[in-house]
Amino acid sequence: DAGVTQSPTHLIKTRGQHVTLRCSPISGHKSVSWYQQVLGQGPQFIFQYYEKEERGRGNFPDRFSARQFPNYSSELNVNALLLGDSALYLCASLSVEPGYGYTFGSGTRLTVV
């Protein structure tokens, strides 16, 4: 069974551009969360989706948006990129079974130049 897959693994963008990051959760998992991790800090919560609906949003500007598709995969979109958006973006797949932690993908390393 495949784990959480994220694409692309690395990305370099220019300030002002737009980026789309993709995530496929574990088969059967209906909930996905997105996190931003900057070096030296813990992952910061961006969004959570469950059954294609937004269930939570972190303290990120409106330039950040996301959606979840009928097959439960998800996209994170960031508009008007800033240098400070350079980070590792992690997607987590959540089981509905209690007592299980999140399963993370390997992340997308975004560099904004």
Partner 1 sequence: ILNVEQSPQSLHVQEGDSTNFTCSFPSSNFYALHWYRWETAKSPEALFVMTLNGDEKKKGRISATLNTKEGYSYLYIKGSQPEDSATYLCAWYSSNTGKLIFGQGTTLQVKP
Q: Which two tokens stand for residue 41?
A: 């800090």
Q: Is residue 5 part of the contact set for partner 1 (CB under 8 A)?
A: no
Nearer to partner 1, 36 or 81 (CB): 36
CA-CA-CA-CA torsion sign (49, 53, 56, 62): positive
In Å, what is the CA distance from 25 to each residue of 1, 54, 95?
A: 11, 16, 10
Strand partners for 68: 74
Are the CB atoms for 47 and 57 separated by under 8 Å? yes
Minimum CB distance to partner 1, residue 33 (Å): 7
Nearest Cα to 102, choosing from 1, 3, 8, 2?
3
Q: Binding residue for partner 1 (CB under 8 A) from 21, 107, 110, 112?
A: 107
| Residue among 21 and 105 whose Cβ is closer to partner 1 | 105
Site for partner 1 in 24-83 (CB under 8 A): 33, 35, 40-45, 48, 55-56, 58
Among residues 18, 63, 100, 113, the one that binds partner 1 under rule CB under 8 A: 100
Give the binding site for partner 1 (CB under 8 A): 3-4, 33, 35, 40-45, 48, 55-56, 58, 90, 98-107
